[in-house]
Amino acid sequence: MITPLILYLDVPFVTFRESHAREMGKTYPVPPPATVYGMLLSLVGETDVYRHCGVELAIAMLSNPRKSRILRQMRRFKNLNFSEPENVNPAYQEILSNLKCLIWVRSEGEKIQPSLRERLQLAFDRPELVQRFGCLFLGESDQLIKTIKLVSEDYLEGMRQWVIKDNQCRLTLPYWVDHVGSRNTRFLRYKIEERSSLSPPDLAWTMIRSPI
């Protein structure tokens, strides 16, 4: 078995907008697997969201991000004309500050080569070979990642808050997002559990699957 890749992320400000939020831009308290997957694709310069279906991700929080509320302009399309002023309205949005986490990546379930794990390793070993565009962010496109690096399993030893699948809990996170409407967006239920374990518990792994 190939050892999973582990990435450390430090993001000063971030929003993971809740899929079902309406009047206010609420945020999930932790990075959804779908958001992490999209960030990893961006890191290796992949534009086909289906290419690495089958990859598995595990998330462990190293910080307790503070939640704040700001007032900003939000787009809600009431008019087909993109530039119409009525499409832009002031609204409150929640943001998280000081987010630090670890992301595990394993690719045994992928059917394509090179796997996402292999491409991530190459991106750090030989960044000059990666063709990508734009800045790297987690969440919304103006919320840039401060630090992303490969680390070992014992990096920053201590208690970690694991994002663990649990059908009895109320926290629902998307593992696949349909960006054309929302019909094919898929969710799983999770809990956030503090453990001193260095390796992801079995239920901390989420496989990225396309519903199509």
Sorted by where each begins, the domain ranges of the chain are: 5-20+29-65+96-207
Determine the pLDDT at residue 74.
65
Regions of the chain with pLDDT less than 50: none
Q: Is 5 buried (19+), middle (13-18) or exposed (0-12) by CB count in 10 A?
A: buried
Phi and psi at residue 188, to the nearest 5°:
-130, 160
Determine the pLDDT at residue 70.
82
Determine the pLDDT at residue 50.
95
Span 7-36, pLDDT tens digits: 999 999 999 988 776 666 889 999 999 999
Side-chain-side CA neighbours of residue 52 (13 Å)? 26
Determine the pLDDT at residue 141.
83
The top-level CATH class assigned to 5-20+29-65+96-207 is: alpha beta
